[in-house]
Amino acid sequence: MLRSKTSDHVRHSDHDDMRETKIYAYYDPADDLIAPSQFIIHVDHETLHTQEELIFSIDGPFEVVEDGQLENFIDSKPVKFIDLDYTSDGRISLKLSHLASRYYNSANKFIIQKRDIEELLWFYGDEF
């Protein structure tokens, strides 16, 4: 049975050695800038192929992606609402097994939209 990968195993760094998963936040200047409009998850190879899910807190910390850096994530694949879950301790679960299957293990960068996080939290009686 595969175990969960938690945010304790997630590194947030500037260099691009993909030995560990990185989570980024993008704040759209056209939005309210209070919360990220998108989360970008760059999953390392081992995590993607050995873990069922990635669990993280929407409170961060996250490395912020600036407008000029967005081109580095142009190949990111969308995360669907059904790929997300909410844990009993108030964190987000990203179902990596769904993503690996949907994209045939060919993608390792994924984008979660703010509206999907908001919908998930609303469903569980919480808010962003």
Res 12: pLDDT: 40
Return the percent helix, strand and coil in the chain, to nearest 5. 30, 25, 50
**What confidence tens digit (pLDDT) does each residue in 72-125 have?**
999 999 999 999 999 999 999 999 999 999 998 889 999 999 999 999 999 999
Would you place residue 6 in the very low, low, confident or very high pLDDT band (cuts 50, 70, 90)? very low
Res 126: pLDDT: 86
Instruction: Tokens for 45, please give them.
Output: 């190879």
CB atoms within 10 A of CB 64: 12
Would you place residue 35 in the very low, low, confident or very high pLDDT band (cuts 50, 70, 90)? confident
Res 8: pLDDT: 44
Write down the domain spans for the chain.
7-11+20-123
